[in-house]
């Protein structure tokens, strides 16, 4: 059983994240979505809210579990017996940071591989940040996030 770890902030989970998770399932037998508190990023949704939303939208996926982790990602991966870390690569702009992260993680734990996956083109410019920006001004994020996330955004912004 090969377990892939899909780490991130997921503030909130988007269809881009789900695209990567689905692709990851073609390579790994199981995927563990690891939600980081990322307090420094001052998330819009609390950790519990982010966990609840991801659990709801991945309920239909077999072999996907969700948990939170604090601390070093490679430690979490080792502790969970993950063989790979899955990261999404959108535009070229993601590349430099992701390469830095992957090489640093390799230095810390040479037994954990990082796998990059490209999302479907329609999600190539989709970020949680853009989704929050649109929703905060009352714009429609239909098709960019699952319906429960749309609803949660409306509630957050009091619309």
Q: Which residues are catalytic?
A: 17, 41, 90, 128
CB of 111 to ligand ADP, least distance (A): 20
In contact, 31 and 86? CB cutoff 8 Å: yes
CB of 21 to ligand ADP, least distance (A): 9
The angle formed by the CA atoms of residues 33, 41 and 155, to the nearest 5 degrees, is 75
Nearer of residues 8 and 84 to ligand ADP, judged by Cβ: 8
| Long-range CB contacts for residues 150-158, cutoff 8 Å, separation at least 24 | 152/12, 152/45, 152/49, 152/53, 153/12, 156/44, 156/45
Residues at the contact surface with ligand ADP, assessed by CB under 6 A: 8-10, 14, 16-17, 20, 38, 87-88, 90, 94, 119, 123, 126-128
Nearer of residues 39 and 111 to ligand ADP, judged by Cβ: 39
Cα–Cα distance measured from residue 128 to residue 121, given in angstroms and rounded to the nearest whole number? 16
Nearer of residues 59 and 101 to ligand ADP, judged by Cβ: 101
């Amino acid at each position: 059983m090969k377990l892939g770890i899909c780490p991130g902030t997921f503030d909130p989970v988007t269809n881009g994240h789900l695209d990567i998770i689905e692709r990851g399932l073609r390579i790994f037998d199981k995927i563990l979505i690891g939600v980081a508190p990322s307090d420094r990023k001052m998330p819009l949704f609390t950790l519990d809210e982010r966990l609840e939303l991801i659990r709801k939208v991945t309920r239909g996926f077999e072999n996907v579990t969700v948990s939170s982790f604090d601390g070093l990602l490679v430690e979490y991966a080792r502790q969970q017996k993950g063989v790979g870390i899955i990261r999404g690569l959108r535009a070229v702009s993601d590349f430099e940071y992701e390469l830095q992260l992957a090489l640093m993680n390799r230095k810390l734990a040479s037994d954990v591989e990082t796998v990059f996956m490209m999302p479907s083109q329609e999600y190539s410019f989709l970020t949680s940040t853009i989704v929050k920006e649109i929703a905060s001004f009352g714009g429609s994020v239909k098709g960019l996030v699952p319906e429960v996330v749309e609803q949660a955004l409306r509630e957050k912004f009091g619309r």
